[in-house]
Amino acid sequence: MSAVEYEPVIGLEIHIQLATATKMFCGCALSFGEPPNTHTCPVCLGLPGSLPVANARAVHFGLVIGLALGSELAPRSIFHRKNYFYPDLPKGYQISQYDLPLCRGGRLGEVRIHRVHLEEDAAKLVHVGASGRIHGSDASVVDFNRGGTPLAEIVTEPDLRSAEAAGEWLRLLRTTMRVLGVSDVNMEEGSLRCDANISLRPAGSEELGVKTELKNMNSFRFIERGIRAELARQEAILQAGERVQQETLHFDPASERITSLRSKEEAHDYRYFPEPDLVPVAIDAAMLSAARAALPELPAARAERFERELGLSADSAHLLAFRAELGDYFEAALCAAVDPAPPAQALANWISGDLLARLTGGETVTDAGDMGGGGGGDPLSSRVEPQALAVLVGLVAAKRVSVGAGRQVLDRLVAEGGDPAAIVAAEGLAAIDGGDELSAIVAEALAAHPEAAANVRAGNAKAIGPIVGHVMRATKGRADGGEVTRLVHTQLGV
Amino acid sequence: MSAAAIVELSAASAVQELAAGRLSAAELFDAYRARAAADELNCFTWVAEGPPAAESGGALRGVPLAVKDLFCTAGVPSQSGSRILEGYRPPYTATVVARLAAAGAPLLGKTNQDEFAMGSSNENSAFGPVLNPWDRARVPGGSSGGSAAAVAAGLAPWALGTDTGGSIRQPAALCGIVGLKPTYGAVSRYGMIAFASSLDQAGPLTRDVTDAALLLRHMVGRDECDATSLGHPEEIALPSAESLSGVRFGVPEELTGEGIDPGVLDAFRGALARARELGAEILDVRLPHATHGLSAYYVLAPAEASSNLARFDGVRYGLRADGAEDLLELYTRTRHDGFGAEVRRRIMLGTYALSAGYYDAYYGRAQRVRTKIVGDFDAAFAEVDFILTPTSPTVAFPLGERTGDPWSMYISDFCTVPMSLAGIPAISIPCGLAGDGAGAQLPVGLQLAGPVFSENRLLDAAFALERALGFDGSRVRGGGSA
Amino acid sequence: MIDRDEVLHVARLARLKLDDGEVESMARELSGVLDHIAKIGELSLDDVPPTSHVVEVVGRLRPDEPRPCLPREVALEQAPSVSDGGFLVPSPQA
Ligand SMILES: [Mg+2]
Ligand SMILES: [Zn+2]
In whole angstroms, what is the distance from residue B412 CA to residue B137 CA?
A: 18
- Between A51, A135, A136, which is nearest B226 by CB? A51
**Percent of chain A at pLDDT exceeding 70:** 93
* 3-class DSSP assignment, residue B135: strand
Neighbour tally for A363: CB within 10 Å: 15
Residues with CB under 5 A from ligand 2 (ion): A 26, 28, 41, 43-44
ipTM over 0.90: yes
Identify whether the C-beta of residue B471 lies closer than 8 Å to the C-beta of residue B432.
Answer: yes
In whole angstroms, what is the distance from residue B194 CA to residue C90 CA?
A: 27
What are the chain B neighbours of A52 within 8 Å (beta carbons)? 227
Q: Ligand 2 centre and the CA of C68: distance in Å?
A: 9
What are the chain C neighbours of A286 within 8 Å (beta carbons)? none
Whether a cis peptide bond, with omega within 30° of 0, leads into B143 is: yes
Tell which of B86, B299, B313, B421 to mutate to test the A interface (max A CBs under 10 Å): B313
Identify the chains in contact with B, defined as 3+ C-beta pairs within 8 A.
A, C
Residues in chain C with pLDDT values less than 50: none
Identify whether the C-beta of residue A151 lies closer than 8 Å to the C-beta of residue A16.
Answer: yes
Q: What is the DSSP letter of A34?
A: P
What are the chain C neighbours of B294 within 8 Å (beta carbons)? 36
Neighbour tally for B290: CB within 10 Å: 26
Q: Ligand 2 centre and the CA of A15: distance in Å?
A: 20
Enumerate the active-site residues of B.
68, 143, 167
* 3-class DSSP assignment, residue B137: coil
What are the chain C neighbours of B79 within 8 Å (beta carbons)? none
Which is more confident, A202 or A132? A202
- Does residue A20 have a pLDDT over 70? yes
Q: What values do phi and psi take at A281, rounded to 5?
A: -90, 120
Q: How far is CA A460 from CA A450, A451, A456, A464, in A?
A: 14, 12, 5, 8
Identify whether the C-beta of residue B68 lies closer than 8 Å to the C-beta of residue B51.
Answer: no
The dihedral formed by the CA atoms of A167, A171, A177 and A180, expressed in degrees to the nearest 10? -150
In whole angstroms, what is the distance from residue A289 CA to residue A160 CA?
A: 33
Angle, CA of B193, B194 and B200, to the nearest 5°:
120
Q: How many beta-carbon contacts under 8 Å exist across A and C?
A: 143
How near does any CA of chain B get to the CA of A121, in Å?
A: 16
In whole angstroms, what is the distance from residue B12 CA to residue B210 CA?
A: 7
N residues, chain C:
94
3-state secondary structure B87-105: CCCCCCCCHHHHHHHHCCC
Would you place residue A1 in the very low, low, confident or very high pLDDT band (cuts 50, 70, 90)?
very low
Give pLDDT tens digits for B365-395.
Answer: 999 999 999 999 999 999 999 999 999 999 9
Tell me, what's the pLDDT at A372?
Answer: 38
How near does any CA of chain C get to the CA of B85, in Å?
A: 10
Q: Relative to the alpha carbon of A147, which ligand is closest?
A: 2
Q: Which of A233-237, A337-341, A357-361, A426-430 is predicted most confidently?
A: A233-237
Identify whether the C-beta of residue C16 lies closer than 8 Å to the C-beta of residue B336.
Answer: yes
How many helices (DSSP H) and strands (DSSP E) are in chain A? Answer: 16, 17
> Which of A153-157, A449-453, B467-471 is predicted least confidently?
A449-453
In whole angstroms, what is the distance from residue B393 CA to residue B389 CA?
A: 9
Residue-wise burial string across C11-28, b where 16 or more C-beta atoms lie within 10 A, e elsewhere: bbbbbbbbeeebbeebbe
Q: What values do phi and psi take at A115, rounded to 5?
A: -165, 160
Tell me, what's the pLDDT at A68?
Answer: 96
Q: Relative to the alpha carbon of A120, which ligand is closest?
A: 1
Residues near A236 by Cβ (< 8 Å), separated by ≥ 6?
none
Q: What is the DSSP letter of B478?
A: T
Angle, CA of A151, A156 and A160, to the nearest 5°:
135
- Does residue A363 have a pLDDT over 60? no
Q: Find, among B173, B177, B178, B135, the residue nearest to B441 by Cα.
A: B135
Tell me, what's the pLDDT at B480?
Answer: 62
Do the chains contact at C87 and B296, CB–CB below 8 Å? no
Q: What values do phi and psi take at A92, rounded to 5?
A: 80, 5
Give pLDDT tens digits for B194-252.
Answer: 999 999 999 999 999 999 999 999 999 999 999 999 999 999 999 999 999 999 999 99
Give pLDDT tens digits for C9-34.
Answer: 999 999 999 998 899 999 999 999 99
Q: Ligand 1 centre and the CA of A475: distance in Å?
A: 63
What are the chain B neighbours of C81 within 8 Å (beta carbons)? 320
Do the chains contact at A273 and B363, CB–CB below 8 Å? yes
Residues near A214 by Cβ (< 8 Å), separated by ≥ 6?
A195, A196, A197, A198, A226, A227, A230, A249, A250, A251, A258
Do the chains contact at C14 and B298, CB–CB below 8 Å? no
Tell which of C16, C23, C46 to mutate to test the B interface (max B CBs under 10 Å): C16
What are the chain B neighbours of C18 within 8 Å (beta carbons)? 336
Do the chains contact at B325 and A135, CB–CB below 8 Å? yes
Do the chains contact at C67 and A53, CB–CB below 8 Å? no
Q: Find, among B352, B441, B432, the residue nearest to B390 by Cα.
A: B432
Q: What is the mean pLDDT of residues B385-406?
A: 96
Taking phi over 0 as left and psi of -120 to 50 as alpha, with beta for the rest, B428 belongs to beta
| Displacement of CA B192 from its chain's centroid (Å) | 13
Would you place residue A472 in the very low, low, confident or very high pLDDT band (cuts 50, 70, 90)?
confident
In whole angstroms, what is the distance from residue B253 CA to residue B291 CA?
A: 10
Taking phi over 0 as left and psi of -120 to 50 as alpha, with beta for the rest, C15 belongs to left
Q: Relative to the alpha carbon of C66, which ligand is closest?
A: 2
Identify whether the C-beta of residue B43 lies closer than 8 Å to the C-beta of residue B150.
Answer: yes
- Does residue A375 have a pLDDT over 50? no
Tell me, what's the pLDDT at A364?
Answer: 45
Do the chains contact at A139 and C13, CB–CB below 8 Å? no
In whole angstroms, what is the distance from residue A171 CA to residue A150 CA?
A: 21
- Does residue A373 have a pLDDT over 50? no
Q: Ligand 2 centre and the CA of A26: distance in Å?
A: 5
Q: How many beta-carbon contacts under 8 Å exist across A and B?
A: 111
The dihedral formed by the CA atoms of A231, A232, A235 and A237, expressed in degrees to the nearest 10? -110
Would you place residue A2 in the very low, low, confident or very high pLDDT band (cuts 50, 70, 90)?
low
Give pLDDT tens digits for A273-329.
Answer: 999 999 999 999 999 999 999 998 888 889 999 999 999 999 999 999 888 889 999
- Does residue A492 have a pLDDT over 70? yes
In B394-462, at which residue ranges do the beta strands (DSSP E only) sit? 426-434, 442-449
Q: Mutual orientation of helices A314-322 and A299-310 as an angle, nearest 10°? A: 140
In whole angstroms, what is the distance from residue A388 CA to residue A454 CA?
A: 43
Strands A107-108, A93-97: pairing kind:
unpaired
In whole angstroms, what is the distance from residue A52 CA to residue A287 CA?
A: 21
Whether a cis peptide bond, with omega within 30° of 0, leads into A340 is: yes
Neighbour tally for A112: CB within 10 Å: 16
How near does any CA of chain B get to the CA of A274, in Å?
A: 10
The dihedral formed by the CA atoms of B139, B145, B151 and B152, expressed in degrees to the nearest 10? -20
- Does residue A463 have a pLDDT over 90? no
Mean pLDDT rounded to a whole number for chain A:
90
What are the chain B neighbours of A91 within 8 Å (beta carbons)? 310-311
Taking phi over 0 as left and psi of -120 to 50 as alpha, with beta for the rest, A373 belongs to left
Tell me, what's the pLDDT at A132?
Answer: 62
Q: Ligand 2 centre and the CA of A28: distance in Å?
A: 4
What are the chain C neighbours of B233 within 8 Å (beta carbons)? none
Taking phi over 0 as left and psi of -120 to 50 as alpha, with beta for the rest, A384 belongs to beta
Tell me, what's the pLDDT at A380?
Answer: 86
Tell me, what's the pLDDT at A376?
Answer: 55
Q: What is the mean pLDDT of residues A327-356?
A: 92
- Between A29, A138, A141, which is nearest C87 by CB? A141
Q: Find, among A150, B367, A401, the residue nearest to C43 by Cα.
A: B367
How near does any CA of chain B get to the CA of C11, in Å?
A: 6
In whole angstroms, what is the distance from residue B419 CA to residue A175 CA?
A: 53
Identify whether the C-beta of residue B56 lies closer than 8 Å to the C-beta of residue B19.
Answer: no
Q: Distance between the two ends of chain A, CA-based, in angstroms?
A: 69
For A261, nearest residue in chain C (alpha carbons)? C93
Tell which of A50, A86, A120, A262 to mutate to test the B interface (max B CBs under 10 Å): A50
- Between A51, A90, A271, which is nearest B351 by CB? A271
Q: Ligand 2 centre and the CA of A46: distance in Å?
A: 9
Q: How far is CA C39 from CA A117, B294, C31, in A?
A: 37, 10, 13
Would you place residue B482 in the very low, low, confident or very high pLDDT band (cuts 50, 70, 90)?
low
In whole angstroms, what is the distance from residue B333 CA to residue B311 CA?
A: 14
* 3-class DSSP assignment, residue C93: coil
Adjacent-strand bridge partners of A248: A213
Q: Relative to the alpha carbon of A98, which ligand is closest?
A: 1
Q: Ligand 2 centre and the CA of A284: distance in Å?
A: 27
Give pLDDT tens digits for B407-448.
Answer: 999 999 999 999 999 999 999 999 999 988 777 799 999 999
Alpha helices in A207-313 (DSSP H): 220-239, 285-293, 299-310
How near does any CA of chain B get to the CA of A212, in Å?
A: 21
Identify the chains in contact with A, defined as 3+ C-beta pairs within 8 A.
B, C
Q: Relative to the alpha carbon of A123, which ligand is closest?
A: 2
Would you place residue A365 in the very low, low, confident or very high pLDDT band (cuts 50, 70, 90)?
very low
Q: What values do phi and psi take at B73, rounded to 5?
A: -130, 120
Give pLDDT tens digits for B78-118.
Answer: 999 999 999 999 999 999 999 999 999 999 999 999 999 99
How many Å is the Cα radius of gyration of chain B? 21
